[in-house]
Structure formats: C-alpha cells, structure tokens
A = this chain, B = another copy of it.
Amino acid sequence: MGKIVTFGEVLMRLSPPEYRKIQQSTQFDFFFGGTEMNVAASLSKFGLPVQHVSTVSNDIVGEAALAAMRQYGIDVSQVKKVDHPLGLYFMEIGSGMRASQIAYNRMHGAFAHITPDMVNWDEALQDCTWLHWTGISPAISNGAYETLKAGLQKAMDKGIDITADPAYRSNLWKYGKDGKEVLGELVGLSTIFIGGINEINEILGTDYSHYKDNFISAAESLMAKYPNIIKVFDKVRTGVSASHQKVYGRAWVNKHYFETPEIEIVDVVDRIGTGDAYAAGLIYGLQHYDDQHALNFANAACALKHTLPGDVNLVSADEVLEVAEGNISGRLKR
C-alpha cells in the first residue's frame, strides 16, 4: 500500500484556557492544525505513510509548524516556505449553550499565496495511492484552487483513489470564483465523496431535505452527474449543546444504503477536527475493511476525537476499533 497525500492550509489555533474569554486571560493554548493535515496526522498515527502538500511562513512560526507536522510523522518535503505569515485563528471555547466564537486571520497568509509552480506533484504522487482534499482549500485563493486542480488531474490520470470532502463555507470564497461551481468541477476529479444532503445541494443546486430517502436520492443524483464518484459517505451530527454531541455515519455505495449506530458524547473535550477524524477513519477503513466496517471505523474515530484536545486524532487504530465494536466504557488500561 502506498502513501496517502493531503493538500491544504496549516493553521495555528489560539484559545484562552478553561472556557475563558480572551479578555479574561494572559495566555493562549495553541495547536497547529488544518483540516487536511489533520487527516494526514491521524492516518500516520494509525501507522500509514503520509505526506502533506502546503506552504508555511518563512519565519519562527513556520519553523514550528514544520516541527509539528514532522512530530506527527508527516513527510514535509513538499511544504514550501513563503514570505507571508502563517494563517491563524483565535477561538473562545464555548460550553453548554454558549457557542465557541472564532476570529480568523488567514486571507493574506502563507497558504493563500501558494501557486502551482511551488508544488512538485509528480514527486508528491510517486508511490501515492490515495489523495485527500476538502472544499476549504480552493476557497482560500485562486492559487490554492489552481494548485489543487493540477494535483487532482495528475492523480486521476494515475488512477489514485481521491476522497473529496467539499464543504462549502460561504464566508470564504472572496477571491472571485463561484465556490459551488468550483467544488463541482473538483468533485469531477475525485472518486469518493464525503458529504451529505447539504453538500450535494450546494454542488448540484438541488434542495433535498433532511430525510434518509432524500440522502439516497441526493447521492444518486450526484453520482449521475459525476459518474467518477463511486461511493458516498456521510456523517450526521446532532448538537445538543457545545458539550454534548451525537454522531453517526451513513453511506450509499453500489445502490446499497447502510449506516452506523449513533454514538453520544456527553462531555466534549474538543470539537475541532472531528470531521477530519472521520475522513481519516474512512480512508483507513476503506484500505483495511469492507465498506460497512470502514464506516463504523470512521464514525468511531470521529466520536473519539471529541474526547481529545487539539486538532489531531492522536488515537491508535486499536483504540478506534474497540469503540467501533461497541466498547465505550472507557475502562482504565493498566
């Protein structure tokens, strides 16, 4: 099995400790993350070889971002340094009914200045059997979009599996392109779709409502328009409060619907990166199990990430497997 390659921004997250507002603190906890890099890091923790393609700032912050990626076992040979600050965001962490609040500083950052000539995709895709991207990357800048598209085209040519996680965030997409259109174009350069009714509605311009039958119809429509997509995996979240979440997975593959049991997390430690944990779990699962078990693994990985601080799901495949098999008692391991 070859390496898995991811592409996307590396961001610094800064939060005051203990549910505080910035004004109540003199310190920030920080983590390096980024939706696609998180996927790579989780897969590395599962034991798979990974590489991330990105840019970081050419300063002390970029140095630390590189060290963080290396710590996760990520090959950083295609992470270039550019003379723009690393993207970052501040988050005041909510609790219960109080939502977390975020302030971004990324639109003029290192990743926004990536261009296709900075990436040697041939080198990146050598010995690569899986490529993963999300809808955040092409939303940042035209350069990011062009760079991603170049990679996807090469990967499609090489027959590499490509997971697309094309979430559409309207408050990004400021550089002029129509986000929904671009996402559609890139889904046309992918093989596995991670998303549900919302994502499909955005890409197809449809308005399916949120029922199971609709999920199937939506998935069917998507695959009709993009026959290159052979599997659709969705993650369904119910947010009772900032501290209390429920998640389950569902899928439409080969005209077959299946889903996982719902897992409930009543004491959320950190919600960031739970979707990325799902994607990583799915990629690992599809490489090791059948589709149903892959989905179970993905949902368990997603649930476990809620219990761990930071952006990255630093749990082993064995820990995920145990939860996927229904053991959620959290019994002490001596």
A110 to B254, CA, bound (A): 50
A70 contacts the other chain (Cβ, under 8 Å)?
A: yes
B334 lies within 8 A of A104 (CB): yes
Residue of B nearest to A88 (CB): B105
A288 contacts the other chain (Cβ, under 8 Å)?
A: no
Question: Which B residues are in CB contact (< 8 Å) with A314?
Answer: 21, 23-24
A89-97, A126-134, A154-162, A205-213: which one contacts chain B?
A89-97
Counted per complex, copies of this chain come to 6
Taken residue by residue from 20 to 39, chain A's Cβ proximity to chain B (1 for < 8 Å, 0 otherwise) reads as 11111111111100000000
Question: Which B residues are in CB contact (< 8 Å) with A329?
Answer: 97, 99, 239-242
A3-11, A184-192, A223-231, A261-269: which one contacts chain B?
A261-269
Using C-beta atoms within 8 Å of the partner chain, give the interface range for chain A.
35 or more
Question: Which B residues are in CB contact (< 8 Å) with A94?
Answer: 307, 330, 332
Residue from B20, B29, B98 within 8 A of A330 (CB atoms): B98
Question: Which B residues are in CB contact (< 8 Å) with A263?
Answer: 97
Question: Which B residues are in CB contact (< 8 Å) with A30?
Answer: 26-28
4 nearest CB pairs, A to B: A242-B330, A59-B103, A97-B328, A22-B64
Q: Could you list 11 examples of A-B contacts with CB < 8 Å?
A: A20-B309, A22-B60, A22-B63, A26-B30, A27-B27, A70-B70, A96-B330, A97-B323, A99-B329, A240-B329, A266-B266
